[in-house]
Structure 1
Amino acid sequence: MPTSATVPPLTPATVWPARGRHTRGAAEDVLRRTLERRKHSRDIDDFLELPEGDDPNAERVFEARWRVDETVTVRARLGLTRGSDDGREWILIAEAEQPWRDEWPSPVGMFWPDEPDAGWDRAAAVDLSLREINPLPQDDKDTRRLLRNAVRGGWHIHVVVHEAMTTDERGRMPVARWLPPGLRDRVVEHRAAPQQLRGLNWALRDSGVQVPRGGAVVLPGSPAPDGYDAEDFSVRAVFLDGTRPTDLVDAVTRFAALPRPLPDGAEGPLTALREDWHLLTLQEELDRQRGLVAMYAEALEAMTRSRDLYREAAERAHEALAAYQESAGPDPARQQPSGAPGTSALHQLTRTLERFKGKSARPAAPAGEKE
């Protein structure tokens, strides 16, 4: 069976990716207000909205930077694009100066407001909530289709929980509330009602995992990360009574630590974050200008060297031509004896021109002489 020779790059340990869809109101206005509040409260050091181009459908970009653990700088880029409906899809890529730690604040919370019904917390590919529980469809085929499409792209961690019995309000709290801050906005939780267990496991059979009765499983995604084993990320019992589901939190945290491929569509925004960053500090701007000056100086020096070499070759060519003309005399038809000065000057001119052209000239055979 043929396999693809292209291996997707792994997500760098310093990078935090997220993706979603904003479905309510003007997303740009929400971002501006939230970033202004974060800057005023000193949650972030600064932010920048890149100028809007002529194309109204072009990506709108917001940049922000802040510090974690007081000294580690985080740079983040959020790009907005128009979705298939009236909503706006967003991709957020954040990168820290050190490997990312789950206890650091979520970059999503720096750009979007932490309010109910804010409108930004929908998954981009499928209509799922990023902060609330998502009940599975009643039809088994719909469940299979939903889960298969949801895990594509690798943007989120998908958790499926089976309710052994009908729960009250205490059991309707999403598992994300118990996770470290850096994981809460990356987890999508699916809930299966008590009578849906058989249909759910039928829908999951192609993924190679099963959900225990009253338990949960962290789905491997497509493709599954290296080191994933269904038994290691299956939880046999989840008590939906409002207490911390320790085993499930541990499984999600361990899954998030596995080396995972860079999500589909994240390579371009990550490159833009690293190579087309605009929100510079004064020191970074100074270092950047110094680098440009050094680059231009090297280019100028190389051009100067090339100019001097060409000028030297031209001067030698002119000297050889003058010597030849002087030795040839006023009569161009006069024959020169072998070894005469004119012949020597002609050879000098030929050699100079050959060096100038950078290649050797092959002498032509005398007329009438056979090979």
Structure 2
Amino acid sequence: MPTSSSVRPMTPPTVWLARGRHVGPAAEDVLRRHVQQLKDSGVLRDWLELPAAEDAQERVFEARWETGEGVIVRARLSLAHHGPADGREWLLAAEAEAAWDPRWPSPATMFWPDDPDAPWDHEAETGAELRFRDVNPLPSDDKELRRVLRGAARSGWSVHVVVHEAMTPDARGRLPLARLLPPGLRHRVVEHRAAPHQLRAVNWALRDSGVQVPRGGAVVLPGAPAPEGYDGDAFAVRSVFLDGSEPAELIETLSRFAASARPLPDGAEEVLAVLREDWHLLTLEEELARERALVKMYAEALEAMTRSRDLYREAAERAHEALTAYRESAAALPEPPAPEQPRDTPTASPLQQLTRTLERLKGGKGRRPTD
């Protein structure tokens, strides 16, 4: 059973995250044309492309819009400037002034055109050729199937769901489920389809993830990190009718999973911090508020420096006064008495001198005179 990390910060309910890959040419031009069209039509309040050097690793676009409920949304999309020959990776973070409602317009379509053939909706984490708005049949090769599903089970930016076809569907059943999802989920969900004969191979590949796909049903994969207390049975759907009708139970399960408390995926903490702290697309009121905040911050810093200087000066004056008082008190003390000089060795008494002379004479009696 996968476990979530207790160290990672949780995804705020106001935040919408996505990660993908644009496989066509001139991705920057596609972005510029689309956001300008949306601004001209009044969908976007404004947008901005941040200046970048020629050797910059990414191009950054910001956009602001208002939902139908009057909630302001700010979004930042970064597009890899130099990428592989098969596409440019992009990261999108959007934050609303209220908890995110999946019925609101998808932030992805505020930057990318929502044309069916637009090449921006390729999933970027698993390394497989997967798309958000299309059906992704699982590979027929078992080894490749395991690679795709294990990568999907470790995905943190996207929501992966595996749907098993109990029998080969007709043309209506082969249509992607994305078209039936709320706009806020449409460009975050990757739909995998397992053919009728692939059920055993699929569940074998998913055994380490602690989930199983019911026959003719579907399961939402946990991702990494998994939501706290994730239970595969709680996000499994027993029956999915692939007849063109709306799979209400599956949509409810996907919506519930997307709204559950989930740790931020790898790299998202930095992306969200930049969105909040390095935002450039300011209104006049926001610019004034930012300038006032800067003035207040500088004033507080200056006041703190002045206070520190005064405290230092006061401490130095007190130290000087203490040193002066010590010197004055030391000068007022009486001179200490001079140390006594050591006395001379006392002279020998006459009796002692006579005794020493007798001892010398006594010692000389035993000597014989020399010739």
> Residue 27 and residue 312 in structure 1: after superposition, are their counterparts in 2 closer, same or farther (change >3 A)?
same
> Residue 322 and residue 6 in structure 1: after superposition, are their counterparts in 2 closer, same or farther (change >3 A)?
same
Matches within 5 A, 1:1-371: 7-56=7-56, 58-81=57-80, 82-125=82-125, 126=127, 127-311=129-313, 336-338=331-333
Equivalent pair of 1:27/1:88 in contact (CA under 8 Å): yes
- The one-character-per-residue Cα deviations of 1:299-351 (angstroms, maximum 9, x if unpaired) are 222233334445556677888999999x9xxxxxxx955289xxxxxxxxxxx
**Segment drifting more, 70-79 vs 278-287:** 70-79
- Give the drift of 1:216: 1.5
The runs of 5 or more residues in structure 1 that have no matched partner are: 328-334, 341-371
RMSD across aligned positions (CA): 2.6
C-alpha distance in 2 between matches for 1:131 and 1:63: 24
> Residue 115 and residue 310 in structure 1: after superposition, are their counterparts in 2 closer, same or farther (change >3 A)?
same
Equivalent pair of 1:10/1:261 in contact (CA under 8 Å): yes
Report sequence identity in percent: 67
C-alpha distance in 2 between matches for 1:4 and 1:116: 35
C-alpha distance in 2 between matches for 1:138 and 1:5: 34
Equivalent pair of 1:131/1:176 in contact (CA under 8 Å): yes
- The one-character-per-residue Cα deviations of 1:82-115 (angstroms, maximum 9, x if unpaired) are 3343421111000111111111111001010001
Residue identity opposite 2:103 in structure 1: E
- The one-character-per-residue Cα deviations of 1:216-270 (angstroms, maximum 9, x if unpaired) are 1111223331243222222222111111112211221121121111111111110
C-alpha distance in 2 between matches for 1:100 and 1:256: 11
> Residue 316 and residue 26 in structure 1: after superposition, are their counterparts in 2 closer, same or farther (change >3 A)?
same
Residue identity opposite 1:61 in structure 2: V
Greater RCO, 1 or 2 (C-alpha within 8 Å, sep 6+): 2
Equivalent pair of 1:141/1:203 in contact (CA under 8 Å): no
TM-score, normalised by the number of residues in structure 2: 0.81
TM-score, normalised by the number of residues in structure 1: 0.81
The number of equivalent residue pairs is 330
Residue identity opposite 1:112 in structure 2: W
C-alpha distance in 2 between matches for 1:314 and 1:220: 64
Equivalent pair of 1:164/1:213 in contact (CA under 8 Å): yes
Residue identity opposite 2:188 in structure 1: R
C-alpha distance in 2 between matches for 1:61 and 1:241: 42
- Give the drift of 1:31: 0.9
**Segment drifting more, 268-277 vs 223-232:** 223-232
> Residue 119 and residue 154 in structure 1: after superposition, are their counterparts in 2 closer, same or farther (change >3 A)?
same
Residue identity opposite 2:282 in structure 1: L
> Residue 119 and residue 322 in structure 1: after superposition, are their counterparts in 2 closer, same or farther (change >3 A)?
same
C-alpha distance in 1 between matches for 2:130 and 2:322: 82
**Segment drifting more, 252-261 vs 81-90:** 81-90
- Aligned counterpart, 2:344: none
Equivalent pair of 2:74/2:95 in contact (CA under 8 Å): yes
C-alpha distance in 2 between matches for 1:211 and 1:323: 88
- Give the drift of 1:204: 1.8
Residue identity opposite 2:74 in structure 1: R
- Aligned counterpart, 2:348: none
C-alpha distance in 2 between matches for 1:213 and 1:324: 94
**SS across alignment from 2:173:** helix
**Segment drifting more, 21-30 vs 229-238:** 229-238
- Give the drift of 1:159: 1.0
Task: Tell which structure's C-alpha radius of gyration is larger.
Answer: 2
C-alpha distance in 2 between matches for 1:255 and 1:4: 14
> Residue 31 and residue 140 in structure 1: after superposition, are their counterparts in 2 closer, same or farther (change >3 A)?
same
The runs of 5 or more residues in structure 2 that have no matched partner are: 336-371
Equivalent pair of 2:165/2:195 in contact (CA under 8 Å): yes
C-alpha distance in 1 between matches for 2:326 and 2:164: 98
